[in-house]
Amino acid sequence: MTKIAPSILSADFAKLGEEIKDVERGGADYIHVDVMDGHFVPNITIGPLIADAIQPITKLPLDVHLMIENPDAYIPLFAKSASIITVHQEACVHLHRTLQLIRSYDVKPGVVINPGTPAEMIKPILPEVDLVLLMTVNPGFGGQAFIKEVIPKVAQIAAWRDEMGLDFEIEIDGGVNEETASICTANGADVLVAGSAIFNQENRKEAMDEIRAGAEK
Ligand code: DX5
Ligand code: ZN
């Protein structure tokens, strides 16, 4: 079954703990934590203190998406609470080394590419990752429209996974809702991140059920 990773970027930060428990009760698989530094992307969000605070209140793995420059400097801090850390290919001069750094902390390494980055940029490092995250919006904000031109990259990454005999998960982030979910899973996605489509609805379980139903179409 398709995994759902609610992005807490669209949650009510004044009651973040309750928001996380709400999606956990509703059947979420991961908690997606969007970390932005105001340099790599034009927004500032969550730091390691928040990740440390939420980790003990949920049984779900924290899927920490680093949208920051120089991620190597912050990986040791997020490794305390994260189960998965994803770094942007565009932010890593020595991507292979950064992925190994994540694994050295017993955290699952993942790589992310922006909509404008070709899939070929990450082909050589696919054997190093537990997860590939494909952005279907330009990172920085929740609530943006899904960029469908990214979909051929999903199929390409899934084909390489088969050819190379690898078993990383393919995750999609940005503009995912009950309508856009099916094209993602039909092309090989395993995990769907959704922020506004879940937290902007009062009943989060219903929202996640709708996305999953869309994903199975
Ligand atoms: C975008 C973030 C996403 C975002 C998704 O920069 O990486 O995780 O929160 O939000 P929606 O689902 O609203 O596009
Ligand atoms: Zn994200």
188 is in an annotated binding site: no
pLDDT number for residue 77: 98
Q: Which residue's CA is minimally distant from atom 1 of ligand 1?
A: 139
List the CATH code of the domain at 3-216. Answer: 3.20.20.70
User: How far apart are alpha carbons 166 and 128 in whole angstroms?
Assistant: 10
For residues 189 and 172, the answer to whether their CB atoms sit within 8 Å is yes
For residues 162 and 183, the answer to whether their CB atoms sit within 8 Å is no
**Tokens at 142, concatenated:** 């929740």
Q: How far is the centre of ligand 2, averaged over its atoms, from the C-alpha of 165 (Å)?
A: 27
CA torsion 87→88→94→96, rounded to 10°?
60
pLDDT number for residue 16: 98
Distances in Å between the Cα of 98 and the Cα atoms of 11, 31, 43, 182, 200 are 30, 22, 23, 32, 35
Q: Which residue's CA is minimally distant from atom 2 of ligand 1?
A: 139
User: How far apart are alpha carbons 24 and 73 in whole angstroms?
Assistant: 30
Task: Give the DSSP per-residue string, 21-72.
Answer: HHHHHTT-S-EEEEEEBSSSSS-B---HHHHHHHGGG-SSPEEEEEE-SSGG
* Catalytic residue status for 162: no
pLDDT in tens, the chain (217 residues): 999 999 999 999 999 999 999 999 999 999 999 999 999 999 999 999 999 999 999 999 999 999 999 999 999 999 999 999 999 999 999 999 999 999 999 999 999 999 999 999 999 999 999 999 999 999 999 999 999 999 999 999 999 999 999 999 999 999 999 999 999 999 999 999 999 999 999 999 999 999 999 999 8
pLDDT number for residue 158: 98
Q: Give the type of residue at 201.
A: Q
134-171 exposure pattern, b = at least 16 Cβ within 10 A, e = fewer: bbbbebebbeeebbeebbebbebbbebbeeeeeebbbb
By three-state DSSP, how is residue 213 classified?
helix
* Catalytic residue status for 173: yes
Q: Which residue's CA is minimally distant from atom 4 of ligand 1?
A: 142
The whole-model pTM stands at: 0.98
Mutate which of 45, 137, 146, 184 for ligand 1 pocket (most atoms within 8 A of beta carbon): 137
